[in-house]
Structure 1
Amino acid sequence: MSLEQFSKLISASTHNFSHPLPAELLLASEGDLQTFYAPFDHINLGARIVVCGITPGLQQTRLALTEAGQQLRLGTSVQQAKQAAKDTGSFAGPLRNNLVRMLDYVGVHKLLGINSCARLFDTHRHLLHSTSALRYPVFVNGKDYSGSPSMLSRSSLRHQVETHLAEEIRVLGPQCLYVPLGPKVTEVFQHLQAKGLLKPEQLLDGLPHPSGANAERISYFLGGKPREKLSSKTNAATLDTAKARILAKLATLRSTGVMN
C-alpha cells in the first residue's frame, strides 16, 4: 500500500478524518481489529537511529491524512507529501521531552555526534527515522490499539510486522540503532532479530516508555527519585538491569565504532 493508491481520495476528500475513517481506507478487518491506510510510508534512508512505537493513534492519523491532502492540493509531489505527513506530530509534547532526556542520559547523543538528542527533531532530523511496529493505524472496536492482543498473535498484525517493519529494517541497513518504545514493541524486534534481520547490538531495548503516565519509572531511571520512595508499581531491579545493559551496549558501540 502507498499514498499513490489513495492520493485522489485523500487530496479530494472533504472528510475531516474523524472516526470512523473513510471506509475506502480500510486495509484489513480481523475480528474486532481494523487496519486503515494512512500516509506513514516515508522511510528516511539516511537515518542512524530509529524510534519505534506501537502504531499511529487516531490523532496522529488524522494529522497525517490532513497534511497529505493539503500537500497534494498544493501540487507537491507524492514523495514530498509522504514526508510532510510522516513528520507531522512525530513524538510531540511530553513524550518527546522524556525520550530526549533518557537518550541523552545514556549517551546516545555522543554516539551520534550531536550535543543532545533534541537535535533529532530540528537541526539533525536527517539522523532520525520515526516509525511504528504496525505502520498503518489499527483500532480495536474503534479505539486506538495499544498492544493487546499481541502483534504476533493475529495474522493481520503479524503481516504488518513481517512485511512493512521488516522492509524498513532491510533498507535502513546495519548502521541503525533501534529504540523500541515499551515491552510490546521490544517483543516484535526480538522476533525480527531471531529471524536475522538485525543484530543484538542494534537493539536499544529497556528504556521506560516515555509516556507522561510513566513518570515515576522515568524519574527513577534518570536518577531523580530514590529507590526507597518508589511505589509498588515500579520494579527498580528491572530498571537497574536494563540501564546497566544499555550503558554497557552503548559503551561498546562507541569504543568499536560499529554504528559509524
Structure 2
Amino acid sequence: MSGYPEAPDGDSGFSGLKAVFFNCTLKRSPELCHTSGLVELSAGLMRRQGVQVEIIRPIDHPIATGVYPDMTEHGWERDAWPELFERVKAADIIVVAGPIWLGDNSSVTKQVIERLYAMSGLTNDAGQYIYYGKVGGALVTGNEDGVKHCAMNILYSLQHIGVTIPPAADAGWIGPIGPGPSYLDEGSGGPESDFTNRNTTFMAWNLMHMAMMLRRAGGIPAWGNVPEQWRAAGRDPDLDPNPDYR
C-alpha cells in the first residue's frame, strides 16, 4: 500500500510478536466504524511484517464496569474482561483506539483503560507488574479537534501501569470543526491524509521495533521495580492501605 513502507530486506524479523488492538467504538459489529479504518491501516502493516494481530471491539462483549479484576465478585452478573485479559497477557503490543466525543475519549475507551488498570497489581514471571515488557500506542478518530488530548490520556494511562511507550506512539485523523464527514465517509480525505498516514506508519513501526527490542533484552531489567524486593528491603506493607493499585 502506498505510503506504508515494508522492511528494506523484506524480512523484518517481527514474526514472533503479538499485538492486540482495542477498537473502542460505541458501535456494535457489524455496523460501520470509522475507527476501524485507522486500526486496519496499522494492523495491516503489522500483519505484513509477520505480527499476529487481534482486533477486539469491547462494545461487543459484556464487560462490566469497575476497577477489580473480576467484577462478578463485586455484584455484576457477567464480566467478559477476565477472558479478554488473557489475550492482553499474551500480547507484546497493546493499542487503544477510539473516537472523540465531546472533545474526549469515548466511554468505552475509558472503560478499557479502567479494566487494564484493574489488572495492574498482577505480576509477570520476573515479579514485576504485569505490563512490564509490553509496549503501547493510541489511535484516535473524530471530526473535531482533540486528537492530542485523547492520545495524551491514553498514553499516560498505559505508561502509568507499566507499559513502555516508544517514540511517536500515537496517530489520528480529524475532519473540519463541527459536524462533517468521518474517516471512512466518501470524500472525507481521511484515507488520503499524508499527515495521518505518516504518523500511523511511524507508530506501527516504532511499536514493533520497541516490542522486539524488549523481547530480545528479556524485558525491562527486573531490579528496582519488583514489589517483593521493596517489601524485603523493609517496607511495611501494612503502611500502605491499598497496595494493589498504582
Shared fold per TM-score greater than 0.5:
no
State the TM-score, normalized to the length of structure 1: 0.35
**Which has more helix, going by share of residues?**
1
